[in-house]
Amino acid sequence: MRDLSEIHGPVGELFEAGPIESVLSAEQLAAFDRDGFVDGVPLLSEAQCDALCAELAEFFEPEHEGHELWHEYHTNESTVPEQTLFHALGAWRLRPGFHDLLWHAPLVTAASQLLGAPARFWHDQLFCKPAHHGGVVAWHQDYSYWTRTQPMNHLTCWIPLDDCDEQNGSLQYVAGSHRWELLQKPELAGPMNNIRQHLSPEQVASMDHPHQVIARRGHAAFHHPLTLHGSQANNSDRPRRVVVVNFIADGVRSETDEPLLKGVPVVPRGEVLAGQFFPLLS
């Protein structure tokens, strides 16, 4: 099959082509600056969510067409034997829906508003928690995994493909934590609260009442690369399927002479991310 990362633009008509003037209000931009996140942003329709879920269903079979194109692929990354966390990077290379999502005008426009600069693609992720035994995602800061790029001008968009709430392991944020220092990198699918051992008493206290994201499918949350976030297990009778799109501002550079992602040619230290795997979206 063709690697869709070779195509920098939509290949179908599922999503809205841009550009559009704005998506986020002044109040939403102010909330992001204050809290380090903004949620409840309507991005996808029911039909768009259904189409992505249909493509996603193929990925749960390990030998699906295109499986060699993943940067990472874990049918279960959970460290708890009785729990399951499906996690994979690179869906945009495999299927037209996940590919074209990157150019969806409301998504790109909102990302550019929050970055304050043209948005460039960094990488995508899938996080899926099956009903009854879905695993946790530990409290973490995204940039602790991304220090191989500089400067820190990154943005994460979390898009639920199912209705999400506390019962099925929705996202949680610690408001204001984007103003903390960079913390040590925890094991992503390890114990939920491992990060606490690296926090001050004041920071630990601020985690006692996190913001719980209650989201309809297709209604996204955006967060800053230092915002502390995580999600509990899914013990409900509903699945929790999420696609994450990670952005960088145009001009972010490589800080390593190693591949930034598995299967991606080296971007030499000091060079701006660009080319096949890091397309400019706006």
Partnered with residue 172 across adjacent β-strands are 212, 230
Tokens encoding 155:
């943005």
Over its length of 282 residues, how does the chain's per-residue pLDDT go in tens digits? 899 999 999 999 999 988 799 999 999 999 999 999 999 999 999 999 999 999 999 999 999 999 999 999 999 999 998 999 999 999 999 999 999 999 999 999 999 999 999 999 999 999 999 999 999 999 999 999 999 999 999 999 999 999 999 999 999 999 999 999 999 999 999 999 999 999 999 999 999 999 999 999 999 999 999 999 999 999 999 999 999 999 999 999 999 999 999 999 999 999 999 999 999 998
Are 246 and 260 in contact, with CB atoms under 8 Å apart?
no
The pLDDT value recorded for residue 126 is: 98
CA dihedral 282, 114, 138, 97 (to 10 degrees): -30
Residue 150 burial (C-beta neighbours within 10 Å; 0-12, 13-18, 19+): middle
Partnered with residue 253 across adjacent β-strands are 150, 272
The pLDDT value recorded for residue 71 is: 98
- Say if pTM beats, i.e. exceeds, 0.85: yes
Is the preceding peptide bond at 151 cis, omega within 30 degrees of 0?
yes
Supply the angle between the helices 26-35 and 105-115 in degrees, to the nearest 10.
60
Residue 213 DSSP one-character state: P
The pLDDT value recorded for residue 1 is: 85
Domains identified in the chain and CATH numbers: 4-12+24-60+70-254 (2.60.120.620)
The pLDDT value recorded for residue 18 is: 81
The pLDDT value recorded for residue 97 is: 98
The pLDDT value recorded for residue 17 is: 86
Whole-number Å distance between alpha carbons of 183 and 185: 6
Q: What is the pLDDT of residues 41-66, one digit of tens each?
A: 999 999 999 999 999 999 999 999 99
The pLDDT value recorded for residue 41 is: 98
Strands, E assignment, 64-118: 72-74, 86-89
